[in-house]
Amino acid sequence: MRQFLLDVYHVQLHQALSRSGDAQIAAIAAKSLKEADYHLRFSRGWMIRLGDGNDISHRKIQQSLDNLWRFTAELFHADALELELAEQGIAVDPRQLQAPWQAQVEETLRQATLTLPAEQAFRHGGKQGQHSEHLGPLLAEMQFLQRAYPNGQW
């Protein structure tokens, strides 16, 4: 589920960035779009198979959607830097991606016989460093080598 929600976002983002006023960003986004499309086709297919599969697969993918949905609004929260870059024509205002993202997600959920969660209490603040308690163990695991070998070079 997480992969699908992010894949839809990445396709929308790369499509928008491929029209960037910065030629290098536009070229990178256009090239990346092919890879993002591939990942979306794969994850979308799994969404439909699991959602429209047996009772167990349907229940598990629906629970996953219910657990993750409250975090999706963070994808479209614009910070000052993003707004400035969008105003300059370099980047995209992430708020502009929400409507097409929502439409594509809802269409796939419909095909997968999944129900959009009713909860509208979305979490914000990740871009400002406000994270849940789940980040601590993840950071500890990701920082293990650097802490074990402080001056190591790879």
The fold adopted by the segment(s) 2-122 is: Ferritin (1.20.1260)
State pLDDT tens for residues 5-52. Answer: 999 999 999 999 999 999 999 999 999 999 999 999 999 999 999 999
* Residues 86 and 95 sit within 8 Å (Cβ to Cβ): no
C-alpha atoms less than 13 angstroms from C-alpha of 76 in its C-beta half-sphere:
16
Is residue 130 very low, low, confident or very high in pLDDT (cuts 50, 70, 90)? low
Per-residue pLDDT, 24: 98
The dihedral over CA atoms of 67, 50, 4, 32, expressed in degrees to the nearest 10, equals: 160
Q: Where are the alpha helices (DSSP H) in 1-154?
A: 2-17, 23-51, 55-68, 80-87, 98-111, 135-142, 144-148
pTM of the model: 0.81
* Residues 96 and 15 sit within 8 Å (Cβ to Cβ): no
